[in-house]
Structure 1
């Protein structure tokens, strides 16, 4: 039996995916004109520095 790799129509879906409920978009209620604020805080810098130093310490502990 030879099957095509590309589906010829959207109705020929997998049986499991067809049994799942329709997916809803969670961010549809948020207006697109609202600006997004990406501010770097001291807690962010402290978290990155702590993670970096812990990783370096762990690598050095395994090497030595």
Structure 2
């Protein structure tokens, strides 16, 4: 059996997925305020749409 010297992801059984580069490593620092920003953006968008319908 011929094996490449490059370490591949053994969980990727399909030949095409084995040719892909390994996924990037997860960043150490997480952005914990992402949910809060998404909530505020959604709230503001809903408020603006609802307010424009009333006028």
What's the TM-score once normalised by structure 1's chain length?
0.39
Higher gyration radius (CA): 1
Higher helix share: 2
* Higher RCO (CA 8 Å, separation ≥ 6 residues): 2
